[in-house]
Amino acid sequence: MERASARVARLASQVSGQSPPAGTTAEDMVRAEACFRSEEFHQQCYSFDPGRLLLNQVALITGAGQGVGKCTALLFASHGARVVCCDIEGDKAQATADFIRNANGVATALTGDVTDPAFPARAVALAVKEYGGLHILVNNAGFTWDGVIHTMPEAQWQTMLQVHLTAPFRLIQAAATAMRGAAKEELGRTGRAHPRVVLNVSSVSGTHGSAGQTNYAAAKAGVVGLTKALAREWGAFNIRCNALVFGYINTRLVQSKDSGNTIEAGGHVVKLGIPGAKAAAEFAQKSIALGRVGAAEEAAGAMLMLASPYSSYISGQAIEVTGGGWL
Give the catalytic positions in this structure. Answer: 216
User: How many angstroms separate the CA atoms of 54 and 79, rounded?
Assistant: 5
Q: What is the DSSP string of 2-34?
A: --HHHHHHHHHHHHTTPPPPTT--HHHHHHHHH
DSSP secondary-structure letter at 235?
Answer: G
d(Cα 216, Cα 180) in Å, to the nearest integer? 29
Burial class (CB in 10 A: 0-12, 13-18, 19+), 32: buried
Residue type for position 196: R
What is the rounded (10 degree) CA torsion for 284, 286, 291, 293?
10
Range list of H helices, the chain: 4-15, 26-37, 39-46, 67-78, 90-102, 119-131, 154-161, 167-174, 176, 182-190, 204-208, 214-234, 277-287, 296-307
* φ and ψ at residue 262, rounded to 5 degrees: -135, 165
Residue 132 neighbours by CB under 8 Å, 6+ apart: 58
Torsion of CA 183, 187, 190, 194, to 10 degrees: 40
* Dist. CA 224–CA 246, nearest whole Å: 12
